[in-house]
Amino acid sequence: MKELTLREKVGQLIVAGFPGLDIDEQTQRLISDYKIGNIILFAHNVKDKEQVKSLCTDLQAKISEHTGHPALISIDQEGGRVTRLPKEAVNVPGAMAIASTGRPENAYAAGRITAREMLALGINFNLAPVLDINNNKKNPVINVRSYGDTAEVVTEYGLQMMRGLQEGGVLAAIKHFPGHGDTAVDSHLGLPSIDKSLEALAELELKPFQAAIDSGAECLTSAHILFPSIEKNQVPATMSRTIITDLLKDKMGYQGLVISDCLEMNAIQEFYGTAEGAVGALKAGVHLLFISHSGQLVMDAVERIEQAVESGELPIAIVDEAVEKVLFYRAKYGQVVNGDLSDTEKAVNQRAAEAISLESICHVSGKLDTVQRNDLDTIIIGSLPYRPDQASSRTSTELSFPAEAADFLGIQHLMTDFNPNEQEQIRIAEQVKGYSKVVVGLYNGCDHTGQVELVNRLSRAGHQVTAVALGKPYDLEMLEGDIYGLAAFEYTTMAIRSVIRILGGEAVPTGKLSLRN
């Protein structure tokens, strides 16, 4: 470490992203001139397995050449609606779906499957699992990414996912410390604030994190959230030495790698500036800084950190401690052999994920009257998926619950707007008049209430309605009358196929909501 220049030290502490499927000129410069040693991949970097494998091989070669150390290549692969791996890979169900199976071993299996799929592509760092407790139903960004709304459920399932990833050979980052569950603001878009005392946090939000620390958590992500009762300086947890060093490291005993959430999120960029946020995060005790999209902001942050060190504003001892921590985990996880999974391994992973998905589907209300194949008296309606928040994966117009379910069952379908107004509701009600049974796919109708109003309108009109919540299960609480409700938690191909099996009578729903009510 003594042989490293300041530029080389700072480069170890940055995780950068880039816009395309290949290493572009600016990213090449970040690696060669700014000594950036770590990368984050998003859906826009992913085409197929062969492209991702080739990209990761190139990244490892270039980063090793210019920094002397293997790279940490990270990705958000939580499962469910937050997935980045290519379609040919096995993308497991998300957190709330897995917890609804009632079997913690499914979380461990999901971690092991995900680790195998990632390592086969050359990705060694997963920004998961989520240990936030979803104790605010209006939370716009966590919701089904959480295992549930109690510390016990989140702890039991989250730690199993963490263990599966770690034992599978992938660095796992628990997130978002000290808790992002009780917010009504998405930190990608604004600056949330949770005005709870440390005692109140210790009674709920901190419990899963403390359990994970005690169980050997190696990496933890900070939250861009204000905690004014704990940190008086009006800075979010990511920039708070009180929270990152005094609470997390000293009081809770955490000794692993601390990483920031992306410093380009509005909670940082708009209120503090990305470069200033980077300096503030290092001062707080964060080791690894994510600047996930803009190469220019990466360069700005590196230069600002260097200036802070040279002026004495940021002690070099803080930088050295962070570099030592990062290099330890780069050495431990950076040597990845991205060999293909065998056909047998692929098949085993796929069957396991499909079994977890089927077990996750919950019967919430009413009585199911199964849909017979080629039933002329049943129609399926619903909208295409849309991207509900900035954490979600890019959505595809190719995926349609009504079209896929109708095609499999040999019945009619009708597409709707994701938030139908009264005029459209009336039009749809007219179009389905000739059908006694209507299956409706809901996608976060609690946020776009036209969906829920349409379902209730059809129920009042005398149709036998089945409602499938393909996002937040809270949609089903807003339904009136004797409606059969299924919670599937995510608008994914795997979840849709599990629902189809239940609608067609091939399987029965065995999941139980991992929520108190």
User: Active-site residues: which are they?
Assistant: 188, 261
Distance, CA of 444 to CA of 139 (rounded, Å) = 12
Sign, Cα dihedral of 176, 69, 340, 85: positive
Helices (H), ranges, 432-487:
450-460
The answer to whether 91 and 354 have CB atoms below 8 angstroms apart is no
Q: DSSP E strands: which ranges in 326-463?
A: 362-365, 378-382, 412-415, 437-442
Distance, CA of 293 to CA of 279 (rounded, Å) = 18
Question: What residue type is 160 in one-letter code?
Answer: Q
The answer to whether 163 and 108 have CB atoms below 8 angstroms apart is yes
Angle CA 31–35–40, to nearest 5: 60
* Nearest Cα to Cα of residue 79 among 45, 55, 115: 115
| Cα atoms in the 13 Å half-sphere on the side-chain side of 310 | 10
* Nearest Cα to Cα of residue 79 among 99, 59, 95: 95
The answer to whether 184 and 132 have CB atoms below 8 angstroms apart is no
